[in-house]
Amino acid sequence: MSGKSDSHGRKKGSSGKRGKEKSDAVGDSPAGDQSASELAAIQQGHKRVIIPDEDDDPSKNMGSVTTNADPSGSPNRKGAKEKTILSANGISYAAAAVFGAGSFGVVIEAVEIENKRKVAIKKVLQDPRFKNRELQIMKLLTHPNVVLLLNSFYTSGSKSGDVYLNLVMEFVPETVYRVLRTYAKQKQFIPPILVKTFSYQILRSLDYIHNLGICHRDIKPQNLLTDSSTGVLKLCDFGSAKILVKGEPNVAYICSRYYRAPELIFGATDYSTAIDVWSAGCVIAEMLLGAPLFPGDSGMDQLVEIIKVLGTPTLEQIRSMNPNYTEFKFPNIQAHPWDRVLRSKTEPSAVDCIAKLLVYEPAVRLTAAQGCKLPYFAELAQSDVVLPSGAHLPYLEGI
């Protein structure tokens, strides 16, 4: 493992272990319940184009890609300036720049030509052997803390037979990952009120999708879109998400390592939405610390990092995570008090929040709904609270 460990098992200066950021969509969706959110979205020009399920077939919902001469575009290799236009379902988008990239494909910052609004277009190469689960799930979601799907269509690739799914989403300018990096470069921590505001919205977004039976399975700073000036946070990237069915096995090798719940490391395949709550706890702790809480270099090293803080799990705790796990050879390590693991200036209610989210036993871990009711978030109900930007808090459902 790289980096030095402190006396509590945490690593110092581990932010450099990050790979290239994976980003998804990014705009600011309105507040309110589902119907109010949809109405406000339409009023702001963020109208969702409803595509019937039968039109999820690429052959029935193909868009077009054209390259036009444009004085304001970017020069190509021959020096001519061009812009790429994507058109589908009666709407055209001018691609501006690549906003993010990862194993999934790319996210393009674009402008809806008719109303000049920014959008993000996630472009994913389709495997003909599988139906894309992300589109099906995103069509179910309308919530202030979940990125809004505006349109979807398919386009042909440069190689014969290649088909890309294009997910058009509202544009949000930052991610929690970028906010963490910005403050780290300045040798500062994210202001406590911003951490609290972001944390509440993370849990609220999870409560919403969990009530629909959806497990995100990849909660991490890169998949949490933010606008620091307004305090808005939105969950994105449903490429790993799944509607969990009791009794139906799931893959255990899921979720980015630093945020992977211990039951996944123990190989559980019948896990619950509690894995998202663990990941959320890791992200909140990272915002409080300014560095990842459990920066493991491998699956087993990840477990070692967790044990350094939570102590060696008991036989009963291991069985609660995976009753089929038979390897019980772990050194006896005592747990460290959370107020010694986190920074000394961390408010006690924040320490209590982390302690209740990061618990070995999935059934003992708080649900996202319970997390939203913790005393840590009581300050958000005060009318005189403002963000570092001077702006009032964003709409917070349930506050």
Q: What is the mean pLDDT of the chain?
A: 85
Residue 233 placed within a domain: yes
Residue 71 placed within a domain: yes
Looking at the structure, tell me whether residues 209 and 347 fall in a common domain.
Answer: yes
In this predicted structure, what is the pLDDT of residue 66? 63
- Cα separation, 275 vs 263, whole angstroms: 8
Dihedral pair phi/psi, residue 207, rounded to 5°: -60, -40
- Is residue 136 pLDDT above 50, yes or no? yes
- Cα separation, 283 vs 335, whole angstroms: 20
**Number of domains composing the chain:** 2
The more confidently predicted of residues 262 and 49 is 262
In this predicted structure, what is the pLDDT of residue 132? 72
pLDDT band per the 50, 70, 90 thresholds, residue 2: very low
pLDDT band per the 50, 70, 90 thresholds, residue 131: low
Domain containing 237 equals 173-381
- Tokens 């102590």 belong to 311
Crossing angle for the helix pair 274-289 and 176-185, to the nearest 10 degrees: 20
CATH number of domain containing 64: 3.30.200.20
**Percent of the chain scoring above 70 in pLDDT:** 79
Looking at the structure, tell me whether residues 259 and 273 fall in a common domain.
Answer: yes
Q: Which of 170, 186, 206 is the last residue of a domain?
A: 170
When pLDDT is averaged across residues 353-374 and rounded to a whole number, the result is: 99
- Cα separation, 315 vs 389, whole angstroms: 49
Residue 95 placed within a domain: yes
- Tokens 């599988």 belong to 130
- Is residue 266 pLDDT above 60, yes or no? yes
Q: Kindly report, residue by residue over 277-304, the tens digit of the pLDDT.
A: 999 999 999 999 999 999 999 988 999 9
- Is residue 9 pLDDT above 90, yes or no? no
Looking at the structure, tell me whether residues 283 and 230 fall in a common domain.
Answer: yes
- Cα separation, 44 vs 355, whole angstroms: 40
In this predicted structure, what is the pLDDT of residue 47? 56
Q: Catalytic positions, please?
A: 218
- Cα separation, 194 vs 216, whole angstroms: 23
- Cα separation, 25 vs 120, whole angstroms: 5
Residue 257 placed within a domain: yes
Q: Kindly report, residue by residue over 148-203, the tens digit of the pLDDT.
A: 999 999 998 888 888 999 999 999 999 999 999 999 999 999 999 999 999 999 99
Tell me the pTM: 0.83
Residue 75 placed within a domain: yes
**Would you state the structure tokens that stand for residue 367, as one six-digit string?**
């649900």
- Is residue 41 pLDDT above 90, yes or no? no
Residue 117's SS3 state is: strand
Q: Kindly report, residue by residue over 44-95, the tens digit of the pLDDT.
A: 445 565 555 555 666 566 666 665 544 444 434 434 445 789 998 899 999 9
Looking at the structure, tell me whether residues 154 and 192 fall in a common domain.
Answer: no
